Amino acid sequence: MSILERISSLLIHSSWGYLSVLSAITRRKRIMLATFPMGFVDFLVPFTKYFETLKFELIVFGIALICLIVAWSLGRHYRSTSSKGT
């Protein structure tokens, strides 16, 4: 297995987990809706035979970076709005 694949998996699943916990803590269902597409990244595995390995891993890494950015920005937004209420 490639290191890039493992890093991508770590980023995607960490983003998914972080947003799931944030959704439970803040009781915001909209955050959970953002996690659903992150769970479908494993759906792409059967398509590896149509791409070169490096190209496919770079695509998945790009998706992982997008997931990380979404998690970071949603977390930042909801943490700042919840701290203003206290």
Q: Are 25 and 75 in contact (CB under 8 A)?
A: no
Give residue 54's identity as a one-letter amino acid code. L
CA 79 to centroid of chain Cα atoms: 18
Q: Give the pTM.
A: 0.80
Burial of 35 (0-12, 13-18, 19+ CB in 10 A): buried
Half-sphere exposure at residue 30, Cβ-oriented, CA atoms within 13 angstroms = 5
| Predicted confidence (pLDDT) per residue in 26-76, tens digit | 888 888 888 888 888 888 888 888 888 889 899 999 999 999 999 999 988
| Predicted confidence (pLDDT) per residue in 14-26, tens digit | 999 999 999 998 8
